[in-house]
Amino acid sequence: MAEKKPARKVAKKAAVKKPGAANGAAKKAAAPAKTKSSVDLAAVRTEIDGIDRQIEALISERARWAQQVGRAKGKLAAAVDYYRPEREAQVLRQVVDRNDGPLANEVLVRLFREIMSACLAQQEPLRIGFLGPEGTFSQQAVYKHFGHSAKALPLASVEEVFDEVAAGHADFGVVPVENSGQGTIQSTLDMFLSSPLMICGEVELRVHQYLMSRTGNIEDVERVYSHALSLAQCRSWLRQHLAGAEKQAVVSNAEAARRARNADDAAAIAGKNAGHVYGLKVIAGPIEDRPDNTTRFLVIGRELFPPSGHDRTSLLVTVQDQPGALYKVLEPLARHGVSMNRIESRPAHGRLWEYAFFIDVEGHAEEAPLSAALAEMQASGQKVRLLGAYPVAIP
Amino acid sequence: MAEKKPARKVAKKAAVKKPGAANGAAKKAAAPAKTKSSVDLAAVRTEIDGIDRQIEALISERARWAQQVGRAKGKLAAAVDYYRPEREAQVLRQVVDRNDGPLANEVLVRLFREIMSACLAQQEPLRIGFLGPEGTFSQQAVYKHFGHSAKALPLASVEEVFDEVAAGHADFGVVPVENSGQGTIQSTLDMFLSSPLMICGEVELRVHQYLMSRTGNIEDVERVYSHALSLAQCRSWLRQHLAGAEKQAVVSNAEAARRARNADDAAAIAGKNAGHVYGLKVIAGPIEDRPDNTTRFLVIGRELFPPSGHDRTSLLVTVQDQPGALYKVLEPLARHGVSMNRIESRPAHGRLWEYAFFIDVEGHAEEAPLSAALAEMQASGQKVRLLGAYPVAIP
């Protein structure tokens, strides 16, 4: 972030020079490469230099436009003042739609996340709270969603992430909420029962689990520590390979690794990172039962953002425990043709005989048909709270 | 890396469309933004969409050119077969030379590192061994130098990094060698006395030190653990604030944090990461005496690369301990006008009365005037080993 050149020149210098010519030359030089096996390395480098010059000019021009937006919002606008998740989602979907190789979609998405992140961080970077320590899956989720120009702040608990965002010490927070194999992390959802924060986005991350121990020998393992969710993710593997060992659920995978470090007959299931931090050796892995094991994170913030064109809305509905209560809640959604992605019931915080439902539906709360259904639900006196409406995760 | 679209189409679809027009429009739309304080957000977004389309087409075209180079080297060429550090350094220097804002040089360098990294990793990514655990400064140095498409392999010791690279399990290694305030990490240099590996690059990284403890209160601190180098980096701060406390040097800052975790009267000096991993609270920081505190890392590999145009050469010279021995070594360098950046003497491994000198000089071993000086040194029977010739670090 440090040194910044002062001059903001008009787009003149950034103008792209003869890209047509560069492309024409590209085609000419590429042809021989396919017929004979040697490539004229010098010619290729000249081509790439031309491409890089254009990319750089365009990135700089993009950064100047971003400055314009920032200026419009006020002299000292911080990144959070003009960060628009719905707009970023649209940009990334266009990147995926346009892509016809050779780079994988996820690689291009990552590069554009970084470019947007750099353009946004020109004044002051976004500060993102996450469940620490550094090196966790949560931190990976932060960088995947916000790029490396954002500032990731490791915090001690999910509760602390909510507190820091609410207090404005962090602009957004990233908290784990669901695993593809094992379902919802209830404690995260429960935070919304008492917190006024909103959901501004979601991130999906592939995760891999490893069995690790001090000795690295499976014969030594008589106890396996891990978070309950991770134990569940590896259930069949454990049944096949460590049926006799005691499984012990602990508060986090990092804690599991810490405990495994203290005894030769113990092992931990955790991400590789946690194992390395505590000097454990990998016995086996990845050992999760589903090869598509994915953790979903929520991005939490203080406001609601406009639609991106492909959104999801999260609702918190509180009902009295009486026959047909849930049915009445769902009726307007069904009638308006709103698809439901998920529903989770939870006892409401401290109120006897009241239940809370966390409901995810397709679409944005401000757009039809959902907006109409929500209006009806509210008009009929139901306790419906909008937790957030946000772009569906981009792979 | 996962999904890849199959078709490798010719540059046609990637051709940049009317960039001139886009830039022209950019200038038009930018003008009103400067006179009145509101910006036509929709117009700006259209501009940025046009820019993004061009950037994406150019990155894809660049990736296709990189594939050409890979193919020329053989059907199954891994990244290591066509990774050229001297070429990457040239590309990044051009990026810096061309930059006239608004993004800082270091931001653009990072984006181009990532673009090159993605283009290179299309077949199989580079595997880079480093002194683990994850989250260390060494890992930051890996990503700074190789981009996030490289695969970073955390290893237990500097020795293991050398071993894994020598055995071909890692393509390159990244090891700390020097701190701006405190000088050389002798144990790293000493590895070259017995290893045949070469130096292929250098990375410089700003580092910050924090005083951390379990309680977070400076009044409780009676002992301070840290690596000797880190203790030295914070000497004046410690003298001012903790003159009475016992300073104890341990093997790494991570180990210091681990120890501080076990006692209320102990603190550690380490990077923030290490403190978070062990649940410590920050008492103060950054506390390093020099605000430009920088650690230098070496990139080690198995071969020598060609000149990049702005290089440094590292030599290992062994001499008998006799009067004038060093003088004789330096004479050809001086006569050919070769500048010396650094010299370190070390007792040679296991040989009585022999000394080893690690010498860094300006220029590449294969280019004049250094090549001539080296030829003379070798001709005169001196034991001169070329440790590596590599691009000077790009900030």
The nearest alpha carbon in chain A to B96 belongs to A56
Cβ <8 Å between A15 and B30: no
Cβ <8 Å between B62 and A48: yes
Which of A33, A61, A103 shows the shortest C-beta gap to B118? A103
- For domain B304-395, the CATH class is alpha beta
Residues paired with residue B282 on neighbouring β-strands, in sequence order: B212
A8: contact with B, CB 8 A cutoff: yes
Size of interface A-B (CB pairs under 8 A): 279
The nearest alpha carbon in chain A to B143 belongs to A148
Cβ <8 Å between B19 and A19: yes
Residues of chain A with C-beta less than 8 angstroms from the C-beta of B112: 52, 55-56
Task: Enumerate the H helices of chain B as residue ranges.
Answer: 19-35, 41-72, 79-82, 85-98, 105-120, 137-146, 158-166, 186-194, 228-233, 235-241, 253-260, 272-277, 325-335, 370-379
Residues of chain B with C-beta less than 8 angstroms from the C-beta of A156: 279
A294: contact with B, CB 8 A cutoff: no
A325: contact with B, CB 8 A cutoff: no
pLDDT of res. B35 = 38
Residues of chain B with C-beta less than 8 angstroms from the C-beta of A154: 276
| ipTM at complex level | 0.71
A20: contact with B, CB 8 A cutoff: yes
pLDDT of res. B334 = 87
Residues of chain B with C-beta less than 8 angstroms from the C-beta of A48: 62, 65-66, 91
Cβ <8 Å between A100 and B135: no
Which of A26, A55, A72 shows the shortest C-beta gap to B38? A72
pLDDT of res. B76 = 58
**Tens digits of per-residue pLDDT, A4-46?**
333 333 333 333 333 333 343 333 334 333 434 456 888 889 9
Which of B55, B103, B119 shows the shortest C-beta gap to A118? B103
User: How many Å apart are CA A139 and CA B150, to the nearest integer?
Assistant: 18
Is A223 a residue whose pLDDT tops 70?
yes
Distance from CA of B358 to the nearest CA of A (A): 33
Looking at this protein, which amino acid is placed at residue A146?
Answer: F
Q: Domain A210-292: give its CATH superfamily.
A: Periplasmic binding protein-like II (3.40.190.10)
A251: contact with B, CB 8 A cutoff: no
Cβ <8 Å between B54 and A101: no
Asked if domains B213-284 and B304-395 share a fold, the reply is no
What CATH fold (topology level) applies to the domain A20-27+41-120? Chorismate Mutase Domain, subunit A (1.20.59)
Phi, psi of B266 (to 5 degrees): -115, 150
Is A274 a residue whose pLDDT tops 90?
no
DSSP string, B344-395: EEEE-TT-TTEEEEEEEEES-TTSTTHHHHHHHHHHTT-EEEEEEEEEPPP-
Q: Where are the domains of chain B?
A: 14-72, 213-284, 304-395
Cβ <8 Å between B102 and A4: yes
User: How many Å apart are CA B248 and CA B256, to the nearest integer?
Assistant: 9
- Average pLDDT for A308-328: 83
pLDDT of res. B133 = 64
Query: Is A300 within 8 Å of A175 (Cβ atoms)?
Result: yes
Cβ <8 Å between B54 and A51: no
Residues paired with residue A155 on neighbouring β-strands, in sequence order: A131
pLDDT of res. B14 = 36
The tokens describing A185, both together, are 């992390």
User: How many Å apart are CA A164 and CA A248, to the nearest integer?
Assistant: 32
Distance from CA of A42 to the nearest CA of B (A): 11
Distance from CA of A242 to the nearest CA of B (A): 27
Other CB atoms within 10 A of residue B102 CB: 20
Cβ <8 Å between B60 and A103: yes
pLDDT confidence of A323, banded at 50, 70, 90? low
The nearest alpha carbon in chain A to B1 belongs to A104
Cβ <8 Å between A27 and B14: no
Residues of chain A with C-beta less than 8 angstroms from the C-beta of B254: 277
Which of B49, B59, B122 shows the shortest C-beta gap to A108? B59
Cβ <8 Å between A134 and B101: no
Query: Is B393 within 8 Å of B205 (Cβ atoms)?
Result: no
Cβ <8 Å between A148 and B110: yes
Q: What are the pLDDT tens digits along chain B (395 aa)?
A: 333 333 333 333 333 333 333 343 334 334 333 434 456 888 889 999 999 999 999 999 999 998 887 777 666 567 777 788 999 999 999 999 999 989 999 999 999 999 999 998 887 889 999 987 665 678 889 999 999 999 888 887 899 999 999 999 899 999 999 876 666 777 888 899 889 999 999 999 888 889 999 999 999 999 999 987 788 889 889 999 998 999 998 877 777 888 898 889 999 998 877 777 677 899 998 898 877 778 899 999 999 999 999 999 999 988 876 667 777 778 898 899 998 888 887 766 655 567 788 899 999 999 999 999 999 988 887 789 999 999 999 87
pLDDT of res. A388 = 95
Phi, psi of B91 (to 5 degrees): -60, -45
The tokens describing A262, both together, are 């203290």
What is the arrangement of strands in the sheet containing B281-284, beginning at the earlier edge strand? B246-249, B223-226, B266-270, B210-213, B281-284
- Axis crossing angle, helix B105-120 with helix B137-146, rounded to the nearest 10: 70
- Average pLDDT for A285-295: 83
pLDDT of res. A161 = 94
Is A346 a residue whose pLDDT tops 90?
no
User: How many Å apart are CA B14 and CA B22, to the nearest integer?
Assistant: 16
The tokens describing B372, both together, are 């001539």
> Cα angle at B210 between B204 and B214, to 5 degrees?
140
Q: What is the DSSP letter of B338?
A: P
Residues of chain A with C-beta less than 8 angstroms from the C-beta of B13: 100
Which of B60, B114, B156 shows the shortest C-beta gap to A101? B60
A16: contact with B, CB 8 A cutoff: yes
More confident residue, A290 or B358: B358
A340: contact with B, CB 8 A cutoff: no
Distance from CA of B61 to the nearest CA of A (A): 8
Residues of chain B with C-beta less than 8 angstroms from the C-beta of A27: 10-12
Cβ <8 Å between B2 and A104: yes
Contacts 24+ apart (CB under 8 A), B232-237: B232/B181, B232/B182, B233/B179, B233/B181, B233/B182, B233/B209, B233/B288, B233/B289, B233/B290, B233/B293, B234/B209, B234/B269, B234/B287, B234/B288, B234/B289, B235/B289, B236/B289, B237/B284, B237/B287, B237/B288, B237/B289
- Mutate which: B55, B155, B253, vs A, most A CBs within 10 A: B55
Which of B1, B52, B122 shows the shortest C-beta gap to A91? B52
What residues of chain B, 83 to 112, have a C-beta less than 8 Å from chain A?
87, 91, 94-95, 98-108, 110-112
pLDDT of res. A10 = 34
User: How many Å apart are CA A368 and CA A307, to the nearest integer?
Assistant: 11
pLDDT of res. A22 = 39
Tell which CATH architecture fits domain B213-284.
3-Layer(aba) Sandwich (3.40)
pLDDT of res. A184 = 75
- Axis crossing angle, helix A41-72 with helix B105-120, rounded to the nearest 10: 130
A314: contact with B, CB 8 A cutoff: no
pLDDT of res. A75 = 62
B132: contact with A, CB 8 A cutoff: yes
A122: contact with B, CB 8 A cutoff: yes
Percent of chain A with pLDDT strictly greater than 90: 45
**Max CA pair span of chain B:** 79
Cβ <8 Å between A26 and B122: no
More confident residue, B185 or A151: A151
* Average predicted confidence (pLDDT) for chain A: 82
pLDDT of res. A77 = 64
Looking at this protein, which amino acid is placed at residue B195?
Answer: S
Tokens 């040679």 map to which residue? B348
More confident residue, B202 or A326: B202
Residues of chain A with C-beta less than 8 angstroms from the C-beta of B56: 95, 98-99, 108, 112
Give the pairing of strands B198-206 and B294-301.
antiparallel
> Cα angle at B274 between B270 and B280, to 5 degrees?
90
